[in-house]
Amino acid sequence: MSTKQKICIVGGGFGGLYTALRLHELPTEVEEKPEITLIDKGDRFLFSPLLYELITEELQSWEIAPPFEEVLANTGIVFRQGEVTNIDLEAKQVTVDNSSTIDYDKLVLSTGGKTPLNIVPGAIANAIPFRSLKDAYRIIEKLRHLEESHQDIIRVAIVGAGYSGVELACKVADRLGDQGRVRIIDRGTQILDNATDFNREKALTALEERQIWIDLETEVAKVEADEIALTFKGEVDTIPVDLVLWTVGNQVSTLTEKLNLEKSDRGLLKLQNTLQVLNNDDVYALGDIAECQDEHGNILPATAQVAFQQSDYCAWNIWAQINHKPLLPFRYQALGEMMALGADNAALSGLGLQLDGSLAYIARRLIYLYRLPTLKHQLTVGLNWITQPIVELLS
Residues 6+ apart with CB under 8 A from 37: 6, 7, 8, 9, 77, 78, 79, 80, 102, 104
List, for residues 23-54, the tens digit of each pLDDT value: 999 987 656 789 999 999 999 999 999 999 99
Instruction: Give ∠ CA 196-200-206 in degrees, rounded to 5.
Output: 145
Amino acid at 191: I
Secondary structure E strands in 138-261: 154-159, 180-185, 213-215, 218-223, 227-232, 235-240, 243-246, 251-252
List, for residues 228-278, the tens digit of each pLDDT value: 999 999 999 999 999 999 999 888 888 888 999 999 998 999 999 999 999
Query: Residue 30: its pLDDT value, please?
Result: 58
Domains located in the chain, CATH noted: 6-41+82-114+251-322 (3.50.50.60), 123-246 (3.50.50.60), 337-394 (no CATH)
Tell me the backbone φ, ψ of residue 360, rounded to 5 degrees: -65, -35
pTM beyond 0.75: yes
**The sheet that has 154-159: what strands, in order across it?**
127-129, 243-246, 154-159, 180-185, 213-215
Bridge pairing between strands 280-285 and 276-277 = antiparallel
